[in-house]
Structure 1
């Protein structure tokens, strides 16, 4: 009989990737709540858990797995729901140690020195200032966020004071529901005091950004891919993800070793993960940026094109109580990229490409995948899950022989697909 796998926030794009996995012909994937329910507005975790439970209770067949690839609140919900149904999953507390950025930094600092200086930010200080031992330039970010939401680069005390009112608003959307969940758990006193609606600050790390993808099963940590994250010039917003990252093997080995130490220190088990790093080629210095107790659905198509199987495969096998076996370099292309077409001001979307044009482009670009996120007659600032500096209009996945071919295919998209925006004044 087909197995039933419930996927939190399953959407069409990831559904296509999941159904293409080896063995997926024997699996029925079910959407457990929608992506909008999980991510839009100020979420209510306890209400979402009740609604998810009601949907599972109403299902008239066996439930073989409950899996997730989204940020909070889904990262918290999956372990809770799996435990209720006796299904394989990570435990909630180690997931929390990864999810709470300040708690995660405390754990990381016990096993590695490859960290930027960090501390907590006093949101209520009469004169905003950095914590002791931290120097400008810095990033301030909520201890719970998604997709860089609420993160700001700050150069001096004056900019910190100017940004703080916005930060006090930003911290609430995910911070309050995160805190509501933390209040129901027994936490270390120092983390209980911080809570979930707080901001942390850390020094800016320099160099080339990259993300290691992996999983941990039965206590064994396995890293299977390193993805480069390349930003727009003079901007922290991503221009593209590129896999595999072109870095020396010695750097890969260091990142893998640090990742294994950190994941083991968190106690995370039976879970996928991704960890973001900076590597500075000039100093050969590695800095750990962030730990996520989930893999990145953003990278799924990249692994599919290069390795032959998307990284969703590890999540699925763990959810079914099986040991993942990631392939390597068995895909159609030696490398692949996910490009982000962005607009750096708020605006009204006046025109997007016709679907027939996009379908023709995908075929012409050798099996590319193009997702236009902008919708006609909508305002960009009404979207959610964006960083603090830009709005994503479209995502373009392409494979190629080398970086030049990846760039050429993206340029063909830019030349052929018109998206028109009327800029508006921003508050």
Structure 2
């Protein structure tokens, strides 16, 4: 009998990724919400989302094997509750929420690796005088306790910038904050969390250096890392410009973050789930810091795994329900390295032309392994786009591979320059996002 898996926010591109796992013909992928419903505009109450998901899964008339998540909150919080409801192997809701609630997560992280955690403090954005709540110095990074894709995150240099950022945050923080609060109401919250709920923010000391993430699984207490992905920002250190695999960090630095990941997850009591943990490493001081813990694989890394290993990282997501461990080291793809590039504009403007389907197809046929996704339409105002960070606007994704990093980056520059976009301000793409060629 075909084994059925429900997948959060399943889109045609994800089917391509999922079908790039071994034995895909034995599995059936079923959609659990569209990406609009669960990823970009999750404006429905958490209880309604849970109820809808339970009804959808209950109608499964076959062999229910598991539920797969590869998205940020709220999918990440829904996943453990649904798995518990249907008797599927997954991390406990408490362990997942310890990761999703950024202040709770920092408290747990500090217990395990105090020297790896930046200074931090919670801030109520609705407080009469939020500045009085600060226990760390300027500058710092401010973000909601729960967020998606770096939304509502700001670098804060002074009191004026703090107040301006909080004004923006107050207008939108409850959209995800109330979803988290409903999930938190279903578990026991430690007294040390106090009043810090989903509508609060956290201020953290700025992290220096290069960013990198480990992806892996914890299955029945057995910890495995299946990949290490470099998260590269532009040369102004404002926005992400690519996810590059495999990491080019030194071997000892990779081993240190892998060891740290296991320490963190065992502190949290995290088991029977995939995970992704982001770190910073300052080469000058050899200082390591934890950025955040995610409770899933990332679909943004799937194409890179296919290019390098010949299978998607969804292979690891299947390890949990199938009670197995996948060794990616013996698998070979067509490329030695691969990346998902985010092509951005940094000034608000209107898109007056996007590349045609014919132009995109010609580029994809010309460049081996090239895949291009246009994220804007002609006439789009960049500031109207959903799910953007606070400093730029993502207009296209370009997935590429290469036999070495230099070849891959040169291909990216050529493809990005060949894409015929036009904007109402008459400007092209800012050159500083192409500058970071080597570590």
Give the alignment's TM-score, normalised by structure 1: 0.95
Q: Report what 2:437 is aligned to.
A: none
Does the CA-based 8 Å contact 2:226-2:327 persist in structure 1? no
CA distance in 2, matches of 1:417, 1:244: 26
Does the CA-based 8 Å contact 1:121-1:130 persist in structure 2? no
C-alpha distance 132-141 of structure 1, shift in aligned 2 (>3 A): closer
Structure 1 residues 9-408: aligned runs within 5 Å: 9-39=9-39, 40-112=41-113, 113-129=115-131, 131=133, 133-191=135-193, 193-328=195-330, 330-408=332-410
CA distance in 2, matches of 1:149, 1:367: 30
CA distance in 2, matches of 1:23, 1:157: 56
Q: CA deviation at 1:157?
A: 1.7
3-state DSSP of counterpart to 1:193:
coil
Q: Give runs of ≥4 in structure 1 deviating > 6 Å.
A: none
3-state DSSP of counterpart to 1:5:
strand
Residues 148-186 of structure 1: per-residue CA shift (max 9 Å, x gap): 011100011221122221122232121122112212332
Cα RMSD of the aligned pairs, angstroms, is 1.8
3-state DSSP of counterpart to 2:112:
coil
Unaligned runs of 5+ in 1: none
Residues 248-302 of structure 1: per-residue CA shift (max 9 Å, x gap): 1111111111111001111111111111111111111111111111111111111
3-state DSSP of counterpart to 1:347:
coil
Q: CA deviation at 1:221?
A: 1.4
Q: CA deviation at 1:415?
A: 2.6
Number of aligned positions between the proteins = 424
Larger mean CA deviation between 398-407 and 262-271 belongs to 398-407
Q: CA deviation at 1:192?
A: 5.4
CA distance in 2, matches of 1:71, 1:260: 21
CA distance in 2, matches of 1:304, 1:184: 38
3-state DSSP of counterpart to 2:311:
coil
Does the CA-based 8 Å contact 1:101-1:143 persist in structure 2? yes
CA distance in 2, matches of 1:36, 1:56: 19
Unaligned runs of 5+ in 2: 427-439
Give the alignment's TM-score, normalised by structure 2: 0.92
Residues 305-338 of structure 1: per-residue CA shift (max 9 Å, x gap): 1122221111122133333333356221111111
C-alpha distance 6-192 of structure 1, shift in aligned 2 (>3 A): farther
Q: CA deviation at 1:87?
A: 1.5
